[in-house]
Amino acid sequence: MVHREVTRRQIFRAFAGCALTDGMLQMLVSPVATAAPVTGDQYTAAMPRLFAGCSAFSYGKQLSTGKMTLEDFLLKAVDLRLQGVDITTYYLRSSDPIYLNNLRRLANQNAVVISGVSCGVKMVEPDPTKRAGVLNEINRWVDVTERLGASRLRVLAGKVPNDITIRQAIDSVVETMKAATDYSGEKGITLAMENQPGLSQSPDVCLEVIHRVNSPYAGLNVDITHFVSSPAQDAYAQIGLCIPYAATTHIGNQFDDHTAIDLDRVWQLFAQAGFKGYMTAEYAGRSAEDEVINVPKLVAEVKARCERYSTV
């Protein structure tokens, strides 16, 4: 293991400042001669640190019916040999501080990182009064995120109502996210807007929002399943555009149209970008039985590629 880590550093030192080709990535994961550890921002910025995680949503059928609790989910993460989990707020029993503290304690006891929290708040809201309510709700989930010991909160843009333009929808999201990051930043928590069907499915919209919010505590939750190829850009090119702004990820093995995702190609994109964070499996099961069978399979795919493409 030590020999392998040093090898990766040697490769990054040799190619720092260059785009990694497929051949270089193969060198990255192949044992070659050892070299002294590399230090300095120039080199570490290019080193991907990819950790395997799982979203609670993957077990949503069981969590929503009481067959599984979030406590069970944290212990399942141990069983699956995961490094982190994403807590979906839909399945929290309450936001009572004692309950949240106990979840955090259980995670810490088992060395499972709560890497992020995902809430379902949607930021598209043209009405100023209702928009203030959206901001208050995001801030409430920021407090929950802080209590759980996580540093990232997934938020949604939402769909565009028929009575407003796309431009008005974008403006409302920017206004809300700017104010929300002012609050979350005081707690060291990054808000990650997901590229979800609706307003934010387009990379162009995602990047405009992030640039206009212009906060170190604003990023994206890059859900690779939601990208839609166009004549101008295939889904992988769109993923690549968003990765530099990724704070969190959700990983599935099929796009929304049920075509297979080339996960090796996706991991290569994250490795080339020097991404540092959790590659979080998220499975949308049809039934509890489906989750039991297929979540471990997806997790295994995620773990194998993190092992292959990460420097740790």
pLDDT in tens, 176-216: 999 999 999 999 999 999 999 999 999 999 999 999 999 99
Beta bridge partners of 145: none
Query: With bands split at pLDDT 50, 70 and 90, how would you rate the model's confidence at 154?
Result: very high
Mean of the pLDDT values across residues 218-244?
A: 97
Pairwise CA distance, residues 279 & 267, whole Å: 9
Instruction: Write down the pLDDT at residue 21.
Output: 47
Query: With bands split at pLDDT 50, 70 and 90, how would you rate the model's confidence at 128?
Result: very high
Hey, what's the torsion of the CAs at 191, 197, 278, 174, to 10 degrees? -20
Read off the tokens for 72.
């069970």
Residue 54 φ/ψ, nearest 5 degrees: -145, 140
Pairwise CA distance, residues 100 & 69, whole Å: 13
**DSSP letter string, 235-295:** HHHHHHHHGGGEEEEEB-SB-TTSPBP-HHHHHHHHHHTT-EEEEEE----SSHHHHHHHH
Q: Indicate the helix (H) or strand (E) that contains 144.
A: helix 128-148
Global pTM reads: 0.86
pLDDT at 12 over 50: no
Mean of the pLDDT values across residues 85-89?
A: 98
pLDDT at 217 over 70: yes
In this structure, what DSSP letter does residue 19 have?
P
Pairwise CA distance, residues 64 & 57, whole Å: 10
pLDDT digits (tens, 9 = 90+) for 17-46: 444 444 444 433 333 333 334 445 666 778
Read off the tokens for 232.
């101008």
Instruction: Write down the pLDDT at residue 45.
Output: 79
pLDDT mean across residues, the chain: 90
pLDDT at 101 over 80: yes
Q: 28-37, 216-225, 233-242: which range is least confident on average? A: 28-37
- What are the structural domains, with CATH classification, of the chain? 1-47 (no CATH), 49-309 (3.20.20.150)
Mean of the pLDDT values across residues 208-226?
A: 98
**Cβ distance 302 to 249 under 8 Å?**
no
Instruction: Write down the pLDDT at residue 138.
Output: 98
